Amino acid sequence: MVLIVRGELRLTAGKSAVQAAHAAVLLVRQAESHGQRELETWLAEGQMKVALEVPTLAEMEAVQRQARSAGIPTVWVEDAGFTEVPPGTRTCLGLGPAPSSRLDPITGRLPLL
């Protein structure tokens, strides 16, 4: 699982962590309905998660398009707007769960959060 935070927003560490957690929960919920096999494998192998950053929303959208075209599940986290960003701001993109062999070609160039 890969959790990608939007760098241009300059979220605090706590806010970034919470947005990534939202993405992880959404991905698991989605996989419970549509990707049971991938979810079971991911759970059995230790639930690996990698937190990365992209500079802009445009780059995040490009990653999402690549992931979807590769058949990797994706979710967006849109903030409620109570603290650091306006309501509806896309803060985080989640990918997976999927094997690293499928995720790395799409996200391997991105810096760690």
Task: Name the residue ranges covered by the structural domains of the chain.
Answer: 2-107
SS3 (DSSP) at 12: coil
Do the beta carbons of residue 8 and residue 91 sit within 8 Å?
A: no
What pLDDT is attached to residue 2?
98
Band of residue 35 on the pLDDT scale cut at 50, 70, 90:
confident
Report whether pLDDT(49) > 90.
yes
What pLDDT is attached to residue 58?
98
SS3 (DSSP) at 73: coil
- 58-95 pLDDT per residue, tens: 999 999 999 999 999 999 999 999 999 999 999 999 99
What pLDDT is attached to residue 80?
95
Global pTM reads 0.95
The residues, ordered by sequence, that sit 6+ positions from 96 with a Cβ below 8 Å of its Cβ are 1, 2, 27, 38, 42, 72, 73, 103
Neighbours of 37 (CB within 10 A): 8
- CA 61 to centroid of chain Cα atoms: 11
81: left (phi over 0), alpha (psi -120 to 50) or beta: left
To the nearest whole number, what is the mean pLDDT of the chain? 96
Do the beta carbons of residue 93 and residue 75 sit within 8 Å?
A: yes
What pLDDT is attached to residue 16?
98
What pLDDT is attached to residue 28?
97
CATH 3.90.79.10, domain 2-107, yes or no: no
Let me know how long the chain is: 113
- 91-109 pLDDT per residue, tens: 999 999 999 999 999 999 9
Token pair in block for residue 91: 């803060």
